[in-house]
Structure 1
């Protein structure tokens, strides 16, 4: 099922900066740097356009029309969240910040022009931003705060190092909740390990599915999703 989100005004002091030199995306809210994420950008420098743009649409489970892959499919290279940009005169259907079904591609110069994120990361970003949120894409050796200032934004606070904020690095276990758990459930289900629903709540069904997967992969079957189990699942 494809869901289109109704337009809303972006919050004051909310914007995104994408630096192709480091392949990182910074999210600002209330004029403060909140989080930094690793991203994948164009295979050639010209593929991902630079400039000032806006998010013009938000789509859950956008189909991959080129190969007729439905939205929500594990085979869909667009992941499960799409934040369309009005770059190069387009209207959110050509360029976007989106998820990806190949987590190994994140961080590299790999796309045809879009900005790729880990599915868990783009789910978090999607939940934060509104349509009309400004997006700055550049190639720079400067800090995110310096880039923001050069583009007319007054920011407060110090920069947040990327290494300190990956949303997907946390350990998932019984009682965990949120987008990271949903992504875990989706991946387990796609591999044939039923979690009794994809609701973002790490309950008994998800724990049992994790243990079965761990046992099949000859990992410690403790039902806790740490770095080793995440790697085996293809999660980051």
Structure 2
């Protein structure tokens, strides 16, 4: 009799307990992507932490909709299709990859990732993945854990309503939340490569500080342009693009 009681208790704990945990989402993480607005919301402990602009599929069917989860995290994933190594400024996957288990795949086909074309963010341009600015996906990557739920939908509802309709009780609205502060862990300097350097070069050039090309490589010409910009803005002239220089540039 005692064994039967224990088995019944375990049954209720497993089925009903698990449901309660999901519904509250307390202390956990949640990502919602709304293709109607091309925005991604990140929740932590039931609170909305940040909202980002993203790029999604060129056609509505390209980016899968439904409930998924993050199944892997990769830094500088190679672009195998064209044999481009990770970290190469030509790599369209950027510097961070958060793989999701969509359409029977296991984080190898669909993902939330960076990109080497910052101007594409907010548009419908991808083959199905969700693109973010490199510096923003870096921030998200540092927070998100494997098995974090991901909801992808096309909706005119608020993020909070979308969460509720999927069984998650969350607080706040996206209008109350700003993007995270400057990614202080990512400083750009001579020798760096990638889409962030490319965006830096574009901004400097637009402001009249020529980098003699926008190639995603932080070389001598970019270093000189940064130092001139820093001098003109009365910043520390060291050629290192840290938080103060980023803020002055409007980089992030």
Q: TM-score, normalised by structure 1?
A: 0.74
2:73 is matched with 58
Q: Give the alignment partner of residue 45 of structure 2, picking from 11, 26, 30.
A: 30
Secondary structure of the 2:103 match is helix
Deviation for aligned residue 1:218: 11
Q: CA deviation at 1:228?
A: 7.1
In structure 2, relative to structure 1, the CA distance for the partners of 1:59 and 1:20 (3 Å cut) is: same
Higher radius of gyration, 1 or 2: 2
Give the helix-richer structure, 1 or 2. Answer: 2
Residues 11 and 74 of structure 1: CA distance in aligned 2, closer, same or farther (over 3 Å): farther
Native 8 Å contact 2:62 2:128 kept in 1: yes
Answer whether contact 1:215 1:221 (CA < 8 A) is retained: no
Question: Aligned equivalents of 2:245 and 2:149: distance in 1?
Answer: 35
Mapped to 2, the partners of 1:39 and 1:13 lie a distance apart of 23
Kept in 2: contact 1:120–1:183 (CA 8 A): no
Task: State the secondary structure of the residue aligned to 1:153.
Answer: coil
Instruction: Give the aligned length.
Output: 199
1:79-121 deviation line (CA, Å, top 9, x unaligned) = 1000001000001010000001110001100100000000011
Q: Secondary structure at the match of 1:83?
A: strand
Aligned to 1:68: 83
> TM-score if structure 2 supplies the norm length?
0.70
Q: Residues 182 and 87 (structure 1 numbering): CA distance in 2 closer, same or farther, change over 3 Å?
A: farther
Q: Which runs of 5+ in 2 are unaligned?
A: 1-24, 201-215, 236-243
Residue 232 of structure 2 is aligned to residue 220 of structure 1: yes
In structure 2, how many angstroms separate the alpha carbons of the residues matched to 1:125 and 1:100? Answer: 14
* 1:165 to partner: Cα distance: 1.8
SS for the counterpart of 2:73 is strand
Distance in 2 (alpha carbons) for counterparts of 1:13 and 1:228: 35
Q: Secondary structure at the match of 1:126?
A: helix
Report the Cα distance in structure 1 between the residues aligned to 2:121 and 2:165, rounded to whole angstroms. Answer: 27
Mark the CA change 1:140 to 1:80 in structure 2 (over 3 Å): closer, same or farther. same
* Aligned-partner SS, 1:72: coil
Residue 203 of structure 1: aligned partner: none
Taking the aligned partners of 2:142 and 2:129, their CA distance within structure 1 comes to 19
Aligned-pair CA distance for 1:73: 1.1
What is the aligned counterpart of 1:191 among 205, 211, 218?
218
List alignment gaps of at least 5 residues for structure 1: 1-9, 171-175, 195-208
For the structure 1 residues 133 and 193, does the alpha-carbon distance in structure 2 shift closer, same or farther, using more than 3 Å as the test?
A: farther
Query: Could you tell me how far apart the structure 1 residues matched to 2:34 and 2:231 are?
Result: 38
How far apart are the structure 2 equivalents of 1:218 and 1:136? 42
Residue number in structure 2 paired with 1:21: 36
Rounded Cα–Cα distance in structure 1 between residues aligned with 2:59 and 2:167: 28
